[in-house]
Structure 1
Amino acid sequence: MTIRKKTTLVSAPAAGRALTLTALALSLAACTTVFESDKVDYRGAKKAAALEVPPDLTQLQRDNRYAVPDAKGVATASGFQQSRGQQTAAPVAGATEAVGPVSSDAVRIERAGDQRWLVVKQTPEQLWPQLRQFWEDNGFAIESESAATGTMETNWVENRSKIPQDFLRNAIGKVFDRAYSTGERDKFRTRLERLPDGSTEIYVSHRGAEEVLTGAQKETTVWTVRPNDPGLESQFLGRMVAHLTGTKDVKSAETTVANAPLQPQHAKLVGDKVEVDEGFDRAWRRVGLALDRVGFTVEDRDRVQGIYFVRYVDPEATNKEGFFKRLFTFGDDEKAKEAQRYRVLVKAAQGANVSEVTVQSNDGKPDTSPTAAKILKLLNDELK
């Protein structure tokens, strides 16, 4: 009896202290949420369940990367690839060579509006393996690569730095880390464009998704698209500069990219076309980046004729919830059947350093439909 009484007298205060500590922890968790919104940390989520997205419909061989077709022969990149399909491709010089860091003066940052990109004095073949390693070091896997369009695209990954760093989470430790989720995912596309002098322009475009509650009782969740984040694009370009140059001062590189001089607006919407006050070469590359950022699927491109062959689904032309569901859950051909195909035409206009961007139907005829007008507005907003 004495032992039981002693045990009761000792365990009761202990239980009280445990309840008090638990209540205190929950109170602190509710009141001391801290978001590290100015940081990115995708490495902790690399093994998390990723959203499934479709690969490009045109899957090309990895040989002949960035090969440019003769203007007298096959014009489209996919057609050029097919025409060489029976040939034995020679290794691309520099594609697998070990390349050391570039000097800081070999990397330049350019900016138009909130678009930023790098100009690096290395060939696309030299940069490709370095960029693959860069994304892997930052917690991403390369989900798709396209030799025809010069793009590589990551998988969907969560930014773990946005998870509340509160007392309760720190007390529990990393054991239940996977129980925490921001309800957001990000993916990035890198586009490489070869310049006449052998240098390369590198563009990074962001796509975001977030999980929202739906239903009368908010009992279900669906993934929806959230706007692209120019700040994240800038931050990763800064990290890319640090990676390519071998500097350890990543924050300084990020600041340099973020503070790149702002140039005047370069585009305006005039009737059924977008006028860009830039020559064809620059306008062509910026339209490619704009298509990436808006979320178009570029199936092919013909630089000789100035045509991007794209797929686009108008979210207002279909059920919104069903649209977003199909956007992130592929495995059948429904999305491809529903998506409309268009041609985005870039051509030099009358006068020096002026280009025009128009939208055509899949058969190459001018398209004046409401959807085509919407596409032009989206492009104009990106090209300003």
Structure 2
Amino acid sequence: MLANTRNVLQFPVLMLMAGSMSACSWLGIGGEDGWLRDREGEYLEARIMPPMQIPPGLDSFTIDELYHIPELPPGDRAIYVTPPAPKPIDTRIREGVVVQRFGDRAWIVIGATAGQVWPTLRDYWSAEDVAIVMENPVQGVLETAWLPQSGTNLRHKYRVQLEPGLHAGNSEIYVRHISDTGESPESMPISWPAESQNLERETAILASISLYLADRTDIYRASSVSMLAGSIELQGKARLIDAGPNNTQIELRLDFERAWSQMTQAINNANIEIVDSAREERRINVAFTGTENQEDPGFFGRLFGRGNDEVTRIDFIVRLIENGDRISVQAETLSGESAPYEQDLLIRTINDNLI
């Protein structure tokens, strides 16, 4: 009796579901032409449309091509039947804004990609009511108009460079300043010096930009992203190279002066003891315990005798070797004995603490 009742109830339910599905197609909701249709693969048939034309007199400052299609390079290219998997997310990304300094050089480090930073960087100049006369988001470069200094015949101009940081997912911002007395035409190309003519003005702009970026917490949620600036190289300036046992290395795309400063800072950040260093010999001697955290043991560690005296200490020589425009960071034990696990962990720990 229960089975018959269940069969009787199933029939009208199935009829109602079938009617609903046909009604969805009839109303234009489902089916091949409905707005709930399967859209998989439709992007393959997308057409390239002409750029949006902004009427004269209206501001096109915030208009970007969201999905830039680059020109095809010459030569043979790899054809993917199945698209490759996306690159893994770098876990060393630190949200926040830091102004780094080395000698007379200074730059901003921010834990966001170039595609995330670029729109906010442009917004900064708009908020300051400063016109941008040249911008190239693919190269990460923009230049301001000449800014007159009140009470004098001087005028000032700034160039901003956006580059990848040491690690993927981080970005660096550089500012360069130049001034003149107004003798050159506004449209005349600028020959930018290697360093700012006025470091105080460069420092002031860097501080102002860093404060503006620090207040824009939405930058990390990618509420506005430039796809053009997103084409800036994603590979960071620091790269781990696994060249075999006892030979894990860091490759830095930096000049030696900055590489030395960054390595010293990273070793200190990792709480690794620096025993000795010789800049002219390009080496740093460190004492490494083979653990990622070399801080003093806690209360229970001291209570049960697990102190630093039971931790194996290995002395390493960290060398910075120039190879063209790159620096190779290598480590070897002072005794010459093999310690592949500790050598690999030492290099990785230093790399993780590069900022």
- Structure with higher Rg: it is 2
Task: Tell which has more relative contact order, 1 or 2 (C-alpha 8 A, sep 6+).
Answer: 1
Give the TM-score of the pair, scaled to structure 2.
Answer: 0.34
Q: TM-score, normalised by structure 1?
A: 0.32
